[in-house]
Structure 1
Amino acid sequence: MVVLFPVSDAATSPAAPSSNITTYSPAYATCPTSGNLVIRRTGTPQADNQTLDPNEVEYIISRQKIVQTSLRSWLGNSMSTVYSGNFDALSAADMPNVGLSLSGGDLRAALFNVAALHAFDSRNETSVAMGLGGLLQSSTYITALSGGSYISTSLIFNEFPTLTHLVFGNDTAGISGWQLLEDIFQPGPSGQYEQAFFAHLLEDLGAKRSAGDFPVTFCDLWGRALAYHFLPGTEDTASFASNTTAGNHAAAISYSSMTQLESWKNHTYPFPIVLIDVNSPNAQGEPFGDTGVLPLTSVVYELTPYEFGSYEPQLAAFAPLPYLGSTFSGGTAQKCVNSFDNAGLLIGTSSCDFHMYNATNSPFWTQEFMPMINQIEEYFGKYQLEQEMDVMSVANPFYKMNVGTYQDWNETALSLLDGSLDVENDPILPLLVKKRNVDAVVILDSSGETSEEKPSGLSLLATQAKSVTLPPGTINFPMPFPNSTDEFMSLGLHARPVFFGCDGANNTNDNYPVFVYIPNDDPTGVTNISTSTLQISTENQTDIFNNAYHLAVRGYVGINNTKLEQHDTEWGICVACAIIERMRVRQGVTRTDACTSCFSRYCFTGQNMTGIPDSTKLSTSYSSLDLSIQDPLNASPSSSSDYDTFVRNEYIIIGLLVGILALLFGVGGVLLRKTKVARSGYKAVGTY
């Protein structure tokens, strides 16, 4: 098969974009002269010398002042109901340290998580009336991976708009919204902009490849495509065919540049952390469960606007994010690079899960991918020797560090990929770092672990198992906790909100945060779309958003209760009780009767939690306010939607990706070899 694109400057010379196009490429830079650029060593809990990045500490201290005001506003007249002490006598440093955890799951997770954040937003009057509006403003951290990272990143680069504006756009505010109506790879009516779109993506990747020793892989292409759909710069459908829009669809937006935004300087946003896994040739052990691809012993990397690294004791080190891509040895920079930390690339890497099809030896991989990879080697092998195509390759900043301890101390490059391929699809690991002293974690779990694309508890069990692989005392996981997914589901924990670790540990050194677990288990199935979905109609976006909002605000109303508008009238109070529980203990005040009642209904103590809820606490009244999406969309919960048109079979998706890989490296090979093949006004850029 020959893939054809119209002859154009973009197709002829992607390594040399025109001067009016913002470039995607990183650049070599002079290393700082005022002292050596060095890796920050974090210390460990075992040595009692663990430290956080000073920039993070400064942000959290300032953020806690906002949390104090927000928490007071959120609880309002209900303060005495959830806290028996004198809240006004507390300082900002006394406030609970709350983390929001946004799971992976691509577009399913993106829409579920963003609707839940809308339920937690004090700017939404309905959420305030439901008792949850203010939780977002009262949080200090927000962690994400894969589809969750689409939200955390786009929210801040759009300067923290309301969640409905973020997703559906607002012309007055100058926000175009997420472009989910357009297929990730085939934008435009019937995909009519596909050719121009691909040509521009390839031009961007060609610029990166020609800028130096910067391998390009499918993760680059995936990240650039996501940037068009989630980051600022894509105004409408037609703009998918252009790369001369302002900023060229976020082509040059670095992740670290978010620290220059006004919303960041004002500390109006929880501190963001994105998780990324590594495909290490040196990791020991077997993957977790039946679906794991990477072993739990492998390092999980954190990405913040300031740093890239891990607190796991085998590494316990971070590199400055603006210098990601630089060459380090023994912790000191040898050759510096700027602008490698492209925002689209990094969320694309956190969601670049295509390695699973290779690692699981999928028949489609062996029959279709390997012939393609062989041809890529023929075209491009001399420029990227033995380069894996299903990972993002970056110079290892921790080369020659922790020799014999750190798994990749002798690897010059890291092969980074989707943060959930070790099965930890809920990004709670950073919130268990002891020095962060997190008191409560709200876990929004949109994992697709069952045949119905619903959670089964597997992700949390993976992190529990991860905690055992780490040296004792590294992190503490809440107890009690089920021992298997079968137990998790048989107890009903997959299908209802539940709190874990309510009573904490007797020893403060072994303490852990309270988990507030909210699973994406829609009894109507509307929100549980396939991970393979690449495009969603506006109507279906609305249906998913509305149903997800209801799941976040309803509390426990009984297993498989399809009346999404029915809710526990005390759910907001119960969440607040969990949020302040560790603060209450530190202050030595008595738990209120309301919180005692809440904990008896929501805290897991090992018992079955599928019982009939207290009917006196249930209501279907949402007051006279409109619901989750106030204007112009209808907020009534949906019972069914036809997603078949937009949900791709996984094999079809992989076939498309194979074609793109061939196209990408066909272009690169042809250009680098300076061969020219023209046919009837079109250029053949790849064959298979």
Structure 2
Amino acid sequence: MFAATGILSLLLSTVLVPAALADSSSYVPISATCPSESLVRAASGLSTNEEAYRVSRKAVADEALKSWLAETNSEFNTDELPTIALSSSGGGDRALLSGAGVIQGLDARDSNVSTSGLFQALTYHSGLSGGAWLLTSFAGNNYPTISSLESNLWGLAIQDSLLDPELLGALIDYLTIADEVEAKESAGFETTLIDVYGRLLGYQLYGEPDGGAGLTLSSITGFSNFTSHAVPYPIITALGAKVWLGECTPGPNGTTYEFTPFEFGSWDSDVSAFTQTKYLGTSMKGGSPVSSCTINYDNIGYIAGTSSDVFASELCTEISDSSELVTELEKILVDVHEIATSDQYATYRNPFYEYQSSTQVPNSANNISAQQSLSLVDGGVALQNNPIFPLLQPARQIDVIIVNDNSADTSNNWPNGSEILTTYVQSFNHNLTRMPYIPPVATFIAEGLNTRATFFGCNDSSKVTIVYLPNADFTFSSNVPTAQLAYSKAEQADMIANGVQIVSQGEKAGWGTCLGCALMMKTNQTLPDDCTACFADYCYYE
């Protein structure tokens, strides 16, 4: 989840900058010929494209996992291999940098610790909010090493806050951003603060000189590392706010939406449908385009901004002890500009307008199909800061989820298990039966589960195994406030290095074998003798 003092002031001042409309902009959605196949499908399984990618990626990942297991402990039997996913939580730049260190510690190209090589063995990778910043930066730059991103992009961009035009003036042309947003509005598309916010994020996350104005999520399907199935399939999540019911922010049971290079939609029963990401922004009715199709709406910065949008919650939620952010935003709204509530949401034309999926459960109280637009926000606002739900879908056949939790649950900005506990509780309402038991927060704290690696689901073969990796201080105090949006190059390096230690558990002796035991425990194969002690040390049993 993300928050930042003064951001709305900057967004408003940027939107209100007087500027002549650009003649053209790579950011503006454009009309295109519709594809021959249907743009909307029922959520009855994976799309043909994702299933093909999953199968091809799994074959590559299996070879990497075999190699890693052989190097880790020669006693592992590799006749049957699990499907592994990584979940990168929200938490602003804290999550981006700490999560980047976790990836670096998994990436054989970029580290030499006990876990190096497991990134190559992942089939899926989900991200939310700050984790979405990380994942879209990684994917949107064709999956370079974290070291490369740190040296060639983040180092300069993140040392100065994206909220300060004076600091970032050399990087960002604010008049151009104003032109782009105005041009999108003039082209007939509703624009909100998230357009400006997403464009600002682009200059920190994507390597193009224009901050990725024309970079779309669907364009990743043409990148070399994606076409060669060298990388896990990326999934970005957000929650839907039912503003037509007067709902300002989604509750814990809110509708979870997925953005992937191929599709956008939701498995939840009140939607239960997907559309092609490339054609987001198309006016749809009953599952068919109203006229021509739209492309270029799925700007990757806009999607990263969607996944990290907390502005509506800060402005609409009544908080007795308002934060500095809320106080300042309310003052701006009164003194500077009057905006409608919808202007704080990421807005999308509803692809499922008047569409009834064969797998949808009609709900007159939700009535999403009756809405012409969707209002999306950061999933972390509903205590679902770990994007686990997409990885529990049976069609994806995931066996093990590595959950890197960079939430700021405590007053000292450390995780305490409350986010993953909420996901467990809400999994029952979403008919997701494969989530293992997660204990109460009091147990997390009493047993120190919020400070070290823990394996959940050890004794239940019907559940996925979760390898829980919470943010912790190994070599650096990484409990940085979410509101901090400027890190010196030294701080960035320290955060990333600590993330490497999180995934390698301080390079603890035997950790590689124990992690291998967690990955392989449910394959019904004989495990190394060392696994008995590993499970005693790391498994949580009810």
1:179 paired to 2:160: no
**Secondary structure of the corresponding residue to residue 388 of structure 1:** helix
Structure 1 position 162, deviation (Å): 1.6
Equivalent of residue 544 in structure 1, options 476, 479, 495: 495
Pairs within 5 Å for 1:54-453: 54-83=48-77, 87=78, 90=79, 94-127=80-113, 131-169=114-152, 179-186=157-164, 189=167, 193=170, 197-212=173-188, 214-233=189-208, 245=209, 248-281=210-243, 293-335=249-291, 336-362=293-319, 363=322, 369-370=329-330, 372-373=332-333, 386=340, 388-402=342-356, 403-404=362-363, 407-453=367-413
Aligned to 2:28: 25
**Distance in 1 (alpha carbons) for counterparts of 2:297 and 2:259:** 13
Structure 1 position 81, deviation (Å): 2.7
**Distance in 2 (alpha carbons) for counterparts of 1:495 and 1:450:** 12
**Contact 2:314–2:326 at 8 Å: present in 1 too?**
no
Which amino acid is the alignment partner of residue 488 of structure 1? F
Structure 1 position 552, deviation (Å): 2.0
**Secondary structure of the corresponding residue to residue 540 of structure 2:** coil
Any idea what the Cα deviations from partners look like across 1:385-423, whole Å, max 9, x if unmatched?
A: x55221111111111234536641211111111121221
**Contact 1:226–1:348 at 8 Å: present in 2 too?**
yes
Which amino acid is the alignment partner of residue 255 of structure 1? L
**Secondary structure of the corresponding residue to residue 75 of structure 2:** helix
**Secondary structure of the corresponding residue to residue 132 of structure 1:** coil
Distance 1:452 1:338, change over 3 A: same
**Distance in 1 (alpha carbons) for counterparts of 2:512 and 2:534:** 10
Equivalent of residue 598 in structure 1, options 511, 526, 534: 534
Structure 1 position 124, deviation (Å): 3.4
Distance 1:71 1:283, change over 3 A: farther
Equivalent of residue 520 in structure 1, options 443, 462, 471: 471
**Distance in 2 (alpha carbons) for counterparts of 1:366 and 1:80:** 55
**Contact 1:74–1:122 at 8 Å: present in 2 too?**
no
**Distance in 1 (alpha carbons) for counterparts of 2:452 and 2:407:** 14
**Contact 1:284–1:295 at 8 Å: present in 2 too?**
no
Which amino acid is the alignment partner of residue 354 of structure 2? K
Work out which structure has the larger RCO, using CA pairs closer than 8 Å and 6 or more positions apart in sequence. 2
**Distance in 1 (alpha carbons) for counterparts of 2:21 and 2:57:** 43
**Contact 1:120–1:134 at 8 Å: present in 2 too?**
yes
Which structure has the bigger radius of gyration? 1
**Distance in 2 (alpha carbons) for counterparts of 1:81 and 1:438:** 24
Any idea what the Cα deviations from partners look like across 1:513-552, whole Å, max 9, x if unmatched?
A: 1000010021676211110011111111122122222222
**Contact 2:404–2:469 at 8 Å: present in 1 too?**
yes
**Contact 2:270–2:363 at 8 Å: present in 1 too?**
no
| CA RMSD in angstroms, aligned pairs only | 2.6
**Distance in 2 (alpha carbons) for counterparts of 1:488 and 1:283:** 36
Distance 1:186 1:515, change over 3 A: same
Structure 1 position 183, deviation (Å): 1.4
Q: TM-score, normalised by structure 2?
A: 0.89
Any idea what the Cα deviations from partners look like across 1:279-331, whole Å, max 9, x if unmatched?
A: 1136799x9xxxxx521222110111011111122321101111111121222
Distance 1:367 1:450, change over 3 A: closer
1:491 paired to 2:431: no
Q: Which structure 2 residue ranges, 5 or more long, are not aligned?
A: 1-8, 11-15, 357-361
Any idea what the Cα deviations from partners look like across 1:69-105, whole Å, max 9, x if unmatched?
A: 211221224454333xxx3xx4xxx531100000000
**Contact 1:14–1:204 at 8 Å: present in 2 too?**
no
Any idea what the Cα deviations from partners look like across 1:320-358, whole Å, max 9, x if unmatched?
A: 111111121222221421111000100011011122212
Distance 1:316 1:110, change over 3 A: same
Distance 1:14 1:455, change over 3 A: farther
**Distance in 2 (alpha carbons) for counterparts of 1:416 and 1:209:** 19
1:39 paired to 2:1: no
**Contact 2:315–2:330 at 8 Å: present in 1 too?**
no
Equivalent of residue 419 in structure 2, options 459, 462, 469: 459
**Contact 1:433–1:475 at 8 Å: present in 2 too?**
no
Equivalent of residue 15 in structure 1, options 8, 12, 21: 21
**Distance in 2 (alpha carbons) for counterparts of 1:298 and 1:106:** 21
Structure 1 position 166, deviation (Å): 1.5
Distance 1:41 1:178, change over 3 A: farther
Any idea what the Cα deviations from partners look like across 1:573-601, whole Å, max 9, x if unmatched?
A: 1111111222x22xxx2333112221111
Q: Which structure 1 residue ranges, 5 or more long, are not aligned?
A: 5-9, 44-50, 170-174, 234-244, 288-292, 506-510, 555-564, 607-688
Equivalent of residue 568 in structure 1, options 508, 512, 518: 508
**Contact 2:312–2:341 at 8 Å: present in 1 too?**
no
Distance 1:210 1:334, change over 3 A: same
Which amino acid is the alignment partner of residue 137 of structure 1? Q
Range 437-446 or range 158-167, more displaced: 158-167
Any idea what the Cα deviations from partners look like across 1:448-503, whole Å, max 9, x if unmatched?
A: 111111101011111112112234xx432203x21x21222112111111000012
Distance 1:581 1:377, change over 3 A: same
Aligned to 2:359: none
**Secondary structure of the corresponding residue to residue 273 of structure 1:** strand
**Distance in 2 (alpha carbons) for counterparts of 1:176 and 1:354:** 24
**Distance in 1 (alpha carbons) for counterparts of 2:282 and 2:169:** 39
Which amino acid is the alignment partner of residue 261 of structure 2? P
**Contact 1:303–1:309 at 8 Å: present in 2 too?**
yes
**Distance in 1 (alpha carbons) for counterparts of 2:101 and 2:225:** 21
**Contact 1:39–1:332 at 8 Å: present in 2 too?**
yes
**Distance in 2 (alpha carbons) for counterparts of 1:255 and 1:365:** 30
**Distance in 2 (alpha carbons) for counterparts of 1:392 and 1:332:** 23
Q: TM-score, normalised by structure 1?
A: 0.71
**Secondary structure of the corresponding residue to residue 494 of structure 1:** coil
**Contact 2:268–2:430 at 8 Å: present in 1 too?**
yes
**Distance in 1 (alpha carbons) for counterparts of 2:284 and 2:229:** 32
**Contact 1:296–1:469 at 8 Å: present in 2 too?**
no
**Distance in 2 (alpha carbons) for counterparts of 1:575 and 1:308:** 33
Range 343-352 or range 387-396, more displaced: 387-396
